Amino acid sequence: MSLVPMKLLLDKALEGKFAYGAFNVHTTNEVKAAIEIHETFRSPVILQIIEFATGFIAGREDFLNATLEEKIEGIKIITEKVKEAAKKTDIPVVLHLDHGHDKELVKACIDEGFTSVMIDGSYLPFEENIALTKEIADYAHKKGVTVEGELGVLAGREDNANHSGSLYTDPNKVCEFFEKTGVDCLAISYGTSHGAAKGKDVVISKEIAIASYENMKFKNIKGSLVSHGSSTVPKYLVEGINKLDGKLKNAHGIPIEQVLEVVPYGIAKVNVGTDIRLAITRYIREYFKNNKNIDDNSRVGQIKKIIEDRPELIDERVYLYPMYDSVISGTGKTTEENDILECVEKGVKEIVGQLIVKYGQVGTSELF
């Protein structure tokens, strides 16, 4: 099946009062695993690429410092990989840019074949955010591409975003933002946050989502809302990593029950990234525990050393870099490298499979 615009999925989710999980992926094997587990549950899949991950995909080790040219090269690589995978499946596949800040990069994604993009102008004053978002929406809609904006600022850390506190979305400005920008969906800030340290016993402000949605209904605005920073940070994964010599501290997520409670109020898309990283890291730490004779001079041995030296690390883009070419091709050069890639796929399937069921998207590929 070919790639489809994300709006097609979001409209169905709004009608059925369920949500689609949108999963951040960084490697070919993560793409493969995410599609396969969605096939199992007969659900469309939303694959998200965060802006700075494109630098990693292009081969830049310090990907946070990637140039625009390198990021665009990464866009071309991942678009080709996802298009190839989409042709082999019967489920709808969305390729979405998550947290695009550079408008030239966002436009490059649209030109290369992404079917959905997020332009994040949340760091700008309200009117400047509107102007930037409208520019991208006008450009994208001419090519049938879905556009997501953001209003309000989430706390936490995600690549280049690092905010100590939230700036909650004002529900009274949501309708104005939709009307002036023409976006298809809007990420709101209502107490979720990026990263694994979301705070113990966090309680999201569901009233913000409800009020935003009710205002939209009153104004007859046919858009949807998006919940960012919604990883649950399962306790069993944190404990499992720490038992395997990891050192994760203050790792707490958003209780899934709280997210599900607001899904009927316009939340049609729920972003998840950290949970996948946790599961992958747990599987890889287990692999090294059970395979103590890895050659220290091999590329897998280098991965082991990175993990040992940085017990707090869960970002697979960092520790998998020694076998970067295998990560991008999807096939290892040795048995051990293929074992590592299998760990990556298992981690994706463990998390994504759980959430597909909880979000209520099982069987929804039949709607398309």
Active-site positions read 98
Distance of CA 51 to the CA centre of its chain: 11
CA distance linking residue 136 with residue 118, whole number of Å: 9
Query: Where do we find the tokens 């049609």?
Result: 268
What angle (nearest 5°) sits at the alpha carbon of residue 201, between those of residues 208 and 269? 45
Report the chain's C-alpha Rg in angstroms.
19
CA distance linking residue 131 with residue 249, whole number of Å: 40
Q: Residue 308, CB half-sphere, CA atoms under 13 Å: how many?
A: 10
- Beta strands 161-163; 185-188: pairing state: unpaired
Q: Which of 224, 213, 223, 227 is nearest to 256 (CA)?
A: 227
Q: Which of 293, 286, 273 is nearest to 194 (CA)?
A: 273
- Beta strands 185-188; 155-158: pairing state: unpaired
CA distance linking residue 1 with residue 87, whole number of Å: 5
Q: Which of 311, 348, 313 is nearest to 26 (CA)?
A: 348
CA distance linking residue 31 with residue 330, whole number of Å: 10
User: Which alpha helices (DSSP H) does 17-164 contain, by range?
Assistant: 28-40, 53-57, 68-87, 103-112, 126-141
Residue 235's CB: how many other CB atoms inside 10 A?
A: 11
